[in-house]
């Protein structure tokens, strides 16, 4: 049995890793997205989903039952979560343009200075013509055709075109020629190739069966917690209000209207901390956060009145 994990969209493999799923990709899921089901595996038949709950003391039996475990969320939900974390479409396009420009400059130097420059000229021409919109169209073609690997098969080449063949040309540090420092920019771009109902799934069954994770482990939440200290994009957005009533209304509305974003925001706890309310206290809190260099992104909401406008 293998121990790989795979992030997919509508069954199309975006990235496959050994043993552990990348923590960055897991941040687009919540524990409420987790699925657990018992399946029977056999050398003589395809896997079969069994109509029974996962027992608390699950042990594989003689029928070779295993737990199918992973996370799944719609493209709409993944998009909203990525936007909240700071991986907006605008930021993704800027990062893409900057990355492509840097690669063009680097490759131009290689072509001029290396005796093997002719080997890179086709790559160079593709880069010069690549825009974000063209990449989206090309990746959509790959996804719809199911092509994930570079091939010399002439018939398949005709099916997907030269640009798409170049997108899946193996690269050590990039997927589909996408110049992303953080893999979540790539996921945000992939969202643009999907319908809102498309499903992103992080398959963990092999890694769990091999003992790298426990099936009852809060894998996504643990991954997010482990990244908290690395970048504000992995931390909750702090929402500050003038008082407890504002907090209750906003927090309740968020859970009602956007339940899939619950957990990505943290609201001021007036009762637990005995924090003072009012416009003056809110101003002081904002100044304190700024002075202390708090890494989280912070939203401060003032009432629409004279005192608040003066304070702002």
Q: What is the value of pTM for the model shown?
A: 0.78
Residue 200 backbone dihedrals phi, psi, to 5 degrees: -90, 130
Q: Among candidates 244, 241, 215, which has minimal Cα distance to 298?
A: 241
Q: Among candidates 100, 84, 103, 83, which has minimal Cα distance to 135?
A: 100
Q: Looking at residue 223, what is its pLDDT?
A: 87
Q: List 205's β-bridge partners, or say none.
A: none
Cα separation, 135 vs 52, in Å, equals 44
* 3 state DSSP class of 45: coil
- Report domain extents, the chain: 4-74+198-227, 88-181, 236-311
How many helices (H) and strands (E) the chain has is answered by 13, 9
Write the DSSP assignment of 109-131 as a string of letters: HHHHH-TTGGGGHHHHHHHHH--
Q: Looking at residue 39, what is its pLDDT?
A: 78
Q: Looking at residue 37, what is its pLDDT?
A: 84
Q: List 237's β-bridge partners, or say none.
A: 265
pLDDT averaged over consecutive 10-residue blocks of the chain (312 residues)? Answer: 83 90 93 88 73 66 74 97 95 95 86 67 88 96 85 58 86 81 93 97 89 87 79 80 90 94 87 76 88 84 88 84
Cα separation, 97 vs 138, in Å, equals 16
Cα separation, 214 vs 204, in Å, equals 10
């Amino acid at each position: 049995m293998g121990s790989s994990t795979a992030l997919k969209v509508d069954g199309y493999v975006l990235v496959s890793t050994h043993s552990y799923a990348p923590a960055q990709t897991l941040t687009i899921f919540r524990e409420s997205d987790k699925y657990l089901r018992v399946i029977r595996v056999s050398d003589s038949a395809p896997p079969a989903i069994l109509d029974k709950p996962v027992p608390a003391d699950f042990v594989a039996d003689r029928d070779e039952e295993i737990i199918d475990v992973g996370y799944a969320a719609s493209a709409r939900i993944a998009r909203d979560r990525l936007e909240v974390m700071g991986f907006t479409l605008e930021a993704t396009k800027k990062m893409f343009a900057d990355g492509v420009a840097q690669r063009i400059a680097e490759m131009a130097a290689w072509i001029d200075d290396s005796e093997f420059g002719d080997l890179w000229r086709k790559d160079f021409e593709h880069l010069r013509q690549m825009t974000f919109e063209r990449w989206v169209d090309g990746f959509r073609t790959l996804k719809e055709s199911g092509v994930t690997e570079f091939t010399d098969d002439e018939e398949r080449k005709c099916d997907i075109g030269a640009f798409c063949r170049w997108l899946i040309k193996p690269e050590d540090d990039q997927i589909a020629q996408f110049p992303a420092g953080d893999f979540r920019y790539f996921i945000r771009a992939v969202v643009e190739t999907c319908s809102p109902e498309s499903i992103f799934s992080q398959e963990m069954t092999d890694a769990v069966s091999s003992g790298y994770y426990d099936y009852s482990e809060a894998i996504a939440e643990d991954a997010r917690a482990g990244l908290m200290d690395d970048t504000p994009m992995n931390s909750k957005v702090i929402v500050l209000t003038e008082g407890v009533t504002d907090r209750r209304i906003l927090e309740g509305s968020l859970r009602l209207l956007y339940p899939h974003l619950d957990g990505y925001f943290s609201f001021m706890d007036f009762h637990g901390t005995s924090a003072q309310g009012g416009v003056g206290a809110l101003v002081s809190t904002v100044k304190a956060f700024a002075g202390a260099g708090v890494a989280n992104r912070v939203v401060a909401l003032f009432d629409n009145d004279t005192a608040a406008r003066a304070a702002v």
